[in-house]
Chain A
Amino acid sequence: MEFFDIFVSILGSAVRLSVPLLFTALAGLFSERAGVFDIGLEGKMLAAAFASACAAYVTDSAWMGLLAGIGVSIVFSLVHGFASITNRGNQIVSGVALNFIALGLTVVLGQAWFGQGGRTPQVSGEGRFTPIILPGADAMREVPIIGPLYVNVISGNNILTYIAFLMVPIAWWVLFRTRFGLRLRAVGENPGAVDTAGISVAWMRYRAVIVAGFLCGFAGTYLSVAQSAAFIHNMSAGKGYIALAALIFAKWKPVPVMLACLLFGFLDAFANFMQGKSVPLIGEVPVQIFQAMPYILTCVLLAGFIGVARAPRAGGVPYVKER
């Protein structure tokens, strides 16, 4: 196998692996920019994956699955909002609690409904998002360099992948070019000023966490009915935390978020590829090194070696109106 073909194959894998990270990291972006830390991304993604697998199996429609995933994820967001915005609870505690609830509840419900050890039955046909072959893929196949890239990396993904990458410019536009985005960022930096202007901080933050829930719904659906074909116990496997790492690594900005997710996806794909292969001079490299890279990179960043990661100033602080 040619070096270039291997590279294209890894790149294709990287794109597929980075999609759930991208949705989740963008979800975190909206929530944290509004000053609500969201460690519960993982749980929302897992709950959404379960809901969409169930709905897709019952209705035999992937779109119904997506709808159910988004719905359940938003419900989780609202619980997080109720605890941390309305009742001014600790945002980290609330998020961790949601993660635990999602982890346990999905298995219990899945076991009660389907009796397959917490799994849902396999969905097939209309119940799944299947790869879309873009026009001209066959014609492009023979073109050197661009051809294989187009066929294996850009074409042949499912619709959620394209939506994920489309979300990046949309998120940028919403956050930095609309009044909604300006206010959203303002409640994350200086909620007092926003309140003075006569805008409800609580309602603004609620809207931000709802957007986060909406995006996590996509991530979960991608896991269970696009990338695989059933829900499986703890299938998010820490992707929510990697997404959080990507968000910090990208310093809470949409385009860098995309690049960070692609980088982390690439590391994962590269780890898969490197498994059992030996590198000249070094020998076999343990794949865990690549799998640990996202966390290591984030730590290095937080330690101040690659610029400074500055979180939204009011992040994690419940807003209390002055009286």
Chain B
Amino acid sequence: MKKTLLTLMAMAAMSATALAAEIKPALVYGTGGKFDKSFNEAAFNGAEQFKKEAGVEFRDFEPTSDTQGEQAIRNFASRGFNPVVAVSFAWTSAMEKVAAEFPDTKFVIVDAVVDLPNVRSVVYKEEEGSYLVGLLAGMASQTGKAGFVGGMDIPLIRKFGCGYVQGVKAAKADATVFQNMVGTTGAAWNDPVRAGELTKNQIDQGADVIYAAAGASGLGVLQTAADNGKFGIGVDSNQNHLHPGKVLTSMVKRVDLAVFNAFKDTQDDKFTAGVQSLGVKEDGVTFAVDENNKALITPEMSAAVEKAKADIIAGTVKVHDYMSDNSCPN
């Protein structure tokens, strides 16, 4: 009797360890929602990709307000989910708190840096991707004037704008770039009306290619540009399909890769904490070409942008990062 009990206990213990080896990944989105055709959707696609390849289910949560993030991350961690991936800089402080409470759980945050031994921080060199689309914008512009509409006025978004300006000037040294920000609060990500008006304003001043780095407000930018027969440039996900033939290209941030790698590395027990900075070289940022915008990219533009890409990888072209010194050379 005693023996059977012992065997049972041993079996129970073994099955418990077997369970722990299997991973239970979880994903917390930013407040834009899962299918935002942009940032969060890319994260979702990465997780789906992992599910298809590894056959492991994941759980996800869509916070609808800024206060829900911490709750969601803690909830997943306390229920034994591992790794817990949170996309959006908005969860930085939440991640700092929760990751310290669960030192055995592996956490990943995208777009922000959290300095803890069990957290991997994935940041992107948005300035490099923005430089490439800026180069395309500069070459596509007839008027020599380009526009940039950012969401919330934070250094991260200025970084997009700064890289873009450098790209435009690389194509046309005397070009003008109008820069506007939708607002200074979180509401700026969700104000397509104001974003559209800012775009119209830039168009009235002569801009004919406008780059949107404004979350959901960017939809207003692309819409207004398309309505007025000008080009828009999408951001984060490939947004070329939103207005076929009217979106010059999109600056794609491979958030899907960050999520996929986080899941995969944990499964293979190769998870590393620390900062990962993904640029053009790591294929973390790039520009999108598909059937919707193929006709807009001329062979010269294609050649120039490929060359710029090679130069950035080789290190001969260095794109200034706004966040390194909070200023832009141009």
Which of chain B's residues has its CB closest to A269's CB? B197
Residue A1 CB within 8 A of the other chain: yes
Does B191 contact A116, Cβ atoms closer than 8 Å?
no
Which of chain A's residues has its CB closest to B194's CB? A272
Contact of A119 among B184, B216, B223, B227 (CB under 8 A): B216
Residue B62 CB within 8 A of the other chain: yes
Name the A residues within 8 Å of B64 (CB-CB). 107, 111, 117-118
Given contacts A13-B201, A115-B33, A116-B33, contact A122 B191 (CB under 8 A): no
A266–chain B nearest beta-carbon distance, Å = 12
Which of chain B's residues has its CB closest to A223's CB? B193
Contact of B191 among A5, A13, A237, A288 (CB under 8 A): A237
Residue B46 CB within 8 A of the other chain: no
Name the B residues within 8 Å of A1 (CB-CB). 204-206
Residue B192 CB within 8 A of the other chain: yes
Which of chain B's residues has its CB closest to A275's CB? B180
Interface residue tally on B, bucketed by range: 20 to 34
Does A227 contact B190, Cβ atoms closer than 8 Å?
no
Does A232 contact B36, Cβ atoms closer than 8 Å?
no
Residues 24 to 43 of chain B near chain A (Cβ within 8 Å): 31-37, 40
Most chain B CB within a 10 A radius of its CB, from A12, A13, A114, A232: A232
Residue A94 CB within 8 A of the other chain: no
Residue A86 CB within 8 A of the other chain: no
A171 CA to B55 CA, complexed, in Å: 64
Residues 27 to 47 of chain A near chain B (Cβ within 8 Å): none
Residue A93 CB within 8 A of the other chain: no
Residue B123 CB within 8 A of the other chain: no
Does A272 contact B197, Cβ atoms closer than 8 Å?
yes
A197 CA to B37 CA, complexed, in Å: 60
Which of chain A's residues has its CB closest to B62's CB? A117
Given contacts A122-B219, A232-B192, A235-B192, contact A117 B31 (CB under 8 A): yes
Does A9 contact B201, Cβ atoms closer than 8 Å?
yes
Interface string of A209-236 (1 = CB under 8 A from B): 0000000000000010001111011110
A235–chain B nearest beta-carbon distance, Å = 7
Given contacts A111-B64, A273-B201, contact A229 B35 (CB under 8 A): no
Does A235 contact B242, Cβ atoms closer than 8 Å?
no
B280–chain A nearest beta-carbon distance, Å = 28
Residue A169 CB within 8 A of the other chain: no
Residues 102 to 127 of chain A near chain B (Cβ within 8 Å): 107, 111, 114-119, 122
B166–chain A nearest beta-carbon distance, Å = 18
Name the A residues within 8 Å of B198 (CB-CB). 272, 275
Does B62 contact A227, Cβ atoms closer than 8 Å?
no
Does B193 contact A227, Cβ atoms closer than 8 Å?
yes
A111–chain B nearest beta-carbon distance, Å = 7
Interface size on A, residues (CB 8 A): 35
A228 CA to B195 CA, complexed, in Å: 10
Most chain A CB within a 10 A radius of its CB, from B32, B35, B37, B192: B192
A233 CA to B35 CA, complexed, in Å: 14
Does B180 contact A276, Cβ atoms closer than 8 Å?
yes
Contact of A229 among B62, B181, B190, B223 (CB under 8 A): B223
Name the A residues within 8 Å of B194 (CB-CB). 237, 272
Residue B320 CB within 8 A of the other chain: no
Residue B49 CB within 8 A of the other chain: no
Contact of B34 among A9, A117, A227 (CB under 8 A): A117
Residue A17 CB within 8 A of the other chain: yes
Residue A80 CB within 8 A of the other chain: no
Residue A16 CB within 8 A of the other chain: yes
Residues 159 to 196 of chain B near chain A (Cβ within 8 Å): 179-181, 184, 187, 190-194, 196
Does B187 contact A115, Cβ atoms closer than 8 Å?
no
Given contacts A117-B36, A235-B190, A276-B180, contact A228 B196 (CB under 8 A): yes
Given contacts A111-B62, A117-B62, A122-B219, contact A272 B191 (CB under 8 A): no
B5–chain A nearest beta-carbon distance, Å = 50
A262–chain B nearest beta-carbon distance, Å = 15
Given contacts A111-B62, A117-B35, contact A275 B181 (CB under 8 A): yes
Contact of B180 among A9, A114, A272 (CB under 8 A): A272
Most chain B CB within a 10 A radius of its CB, from A223, A273, A288: A273
A196 CA to B259 CA, complexed, in Å: 72
Most chain A CB within a 10 A radius of its CB, from B34, B180, B204, B219: B204
Residue B200 CB within 8 A of the other chain: yes
B104–chain A nearest beta-carbon distance, Å = 32
Which of chain B's residues has its CB closest to A238's CB? B187
Most chain A CB within a 10 A radius of its CB, from B31, B33, B36, B191: B33
A110–chain B nearest beta-carbon distance, Å = 9
Does A235 contact B193, Cβ atoms closer than 8 Å?
yes
Interface string of B210-225 (1 = CB under 8 A from A): 0000001001100100
Name the A residues within 8 Å of B179 (CB-CB). 276
A229 CA to B35 CA, complexed, in Å: 17
Which of chain A's residues has its CB closest to B181's CB? A275
Name the A residues within 8 Å of B193 (CB-CB). 223, 227-228, 235, 237
Does B32 contact A117, Cβ atoms closer than 8 Å?
yes
B247–chain A nearest beta-carbon distance, Å = 13
Residues 231 to 266 of chain B near chain A (Cβ within 8 Å): 242
Supply 18 A–B pairs (Cβ within 8 Å), ascending by A. Answer: A1-B206, A9-B205, A12-B200, A16-B197, A111-B64, A116-B34, A117-B35, A117-B64, A122-B219, A228-B220, A228-B223, A232-B191, A237-B191, A269-B201, A272-B180, A272-B194, A272-B201, A275-B180
8 A-B pairs with the lowest CB-CB distances in the bound complex, closest first: A117-B33, A9-B204, A228-B192, A116-B35, A117-B32, A232-B190, A115-B35, A229-B223
